[in-house]
Amino acid sequence: MSLPRQILDTLEHVRRRVSDPVEKILIERLEREIHAHSCPRSIGIIMDGNRRWASLHGEKPWFGHRFGKDKVREFLEWCKRFKIQGLVLYAFSAENFSRPRSEINEIMKLMKQGFDELATDPLISREGIRVRVIGRKKLLPEKVQQSIRTVEDISRDNDAYDLTFAIAYGGRDDIVDACRAIAAKVRSGKLEPSAIDEETVSNHLYAAIDDPDLIIRTSGEQRLSNFLPWQSVYSELHFTSTFWPAFRYIDFLRALRAYQRRDRRIGR
């Protein structure tokens, strides 16, 4: 059951009046704590809960997707503050193509808008952010593909930060496509089967992205859902019940602190 908008807005207003000053103090303390330890180099995000958040506000799913898109820009700023150099966002899975046509159309419009906004965003060149998309891009509408090409071209030579969107993406598809490419090289005699190692597989995935040190999934689900299966074997996982559009700076700080408290031995 969703509450009327007016009641939700009033509750949010009251919550802010009471909790904002407390939150400010908490944020300052968390920031100090986090700056004193090492941060993840690369983060993966499974942005989940857009539709549930929209429904909570009595709105259609794309209301949540719109706020979810805008959250990405905010998140980028937060990562920059802690010099997190790699960010991979799971924006649309291969399985998401089975959603209603009307919702897919709205998501595609938002994606085009999102990439067009990034292409003209001064942050991209000022901070040296390289934007890339991994996934079966050919399945996307031509207009979205064009916007992706534009932002990828504009940012190709940037080398301070890496921002990667996984779209029309399935981790298993990625591995299957890599296997096909490797098998073709073996068949043509360019590659010896005995020479195939982890690096060979990594080099044939959609793109060379750093293995995420930390993967955050919002909305309370606790699984990876085909997100970066090859690259996530040593990732620390952080699950939060907050829906992606409602994810706040303090949630981000809590995720970083949880990461820093882990004992990362990686088999040692």
Question: Would you please indicate which residues are annotated as catalytic (active-site) residues?
Answer: 48, 96
Of the candidates 264, 201, 253, 243, which has an alpha carbon nearest to the alpha carbon of residue 81? 253
Tokens of 19: 């909790």
Stretch that binds ligand FPP, among 13-21, 105-113, 229-237, 248-256 (CB under 6 A): 105-113
Least Å distance, CB 217 to ligand FPP, is 10
| Interface segment toward ligand FPP; rule CB under 6 A; list 26-34, 65-73, 155-163, 175-183 | 65-73
Where are the alpha helices (H) located in 83-229, listed in sequence order?
101-119, 122-127, 142-155, 171-187, 198-203
Closer Cβ to ligand FPP, 154 or 201, answer by number:
154
For ligand FPP, the closer of residues 34 and 219 by Cβ is 219
Q: Give how far Cα 43 sits from Cα of 84, 144, 177, 237, Å.
A: 7, 25, 24, 10
- Cβ 242 to ligand FPP shortest distance, Å: 12
Residue in the shown chain whose Cβ atom is closest to ligand FPP: 114
Is 50 one of the binding residues for ligand FPP (CB under 6 A)? yes
What is d(CA 206, CA 190) in angstroms, rounded to the nearest whole number?
20
Min CB(160)–ligand FPP separation in Å: 20
Cross-strand pairs, 134 = 166
Nearest CB to ligand FPP, comparing residues 243 and 259? 243
**Contacts (CB under 6 A) with ligand FPP, residues 83-102:** 91-92, 96
According to CB under 6 A, which one of 40, 49, 135, 212 is a site residue for ligand FPP?
Answer: 49
Nearer to ligand FPP, 205 or 246 (CB): 246
Q: Is 48 in the site for ligand FPP (CB under 6 A)?
A: yes
Measured from the CB of residue 167, what is the shortest distance to ligand FPP in angstroms?
8
User: How far is residue 191's CA from residue 76's CA, in Å, rounded to a whole number?
Assistant: 40
State the sign of the Cα–Cα–Cα–Cα dihedral 207, 209, 211, 217. negative
247 contacts: CB under 8 Å, gap ≥ 6:
71, 75, 218, 240
Query: Where do we find the tokens 């029309």?
Result: 168
Q: DSSP for 190-255, please give it.
A: SS-GGG--HHHHHHTSSS--PPPSEEEE-TT--S-TTSSTTTTTT-EEEE-SS-GGG--HHHHHHH
Q: Which residue in the set 34, 43, 107, 205 belongs to the binding site for ligand FPP (CB under 6 A)?
A: 107
Question: Other CB atoms closer than 10 Å to residue 101's CB: what's the count?
Answer: 7
Among positions 203-222, residues that touch ligand FPP (CB under 6 A) are: 219
- Closest separation in Å from C-beta 60 to ligand FPP: 11
Return the residue of 111, 134, 209, 246 that touches ligand FPP, per CB under 6 A: 111
Footprint of ligand FPP (CB under 6 A): 47-52, 65, 68-69, 72, 91-92, 96, 107, 110-111, 114-115, 165, 219
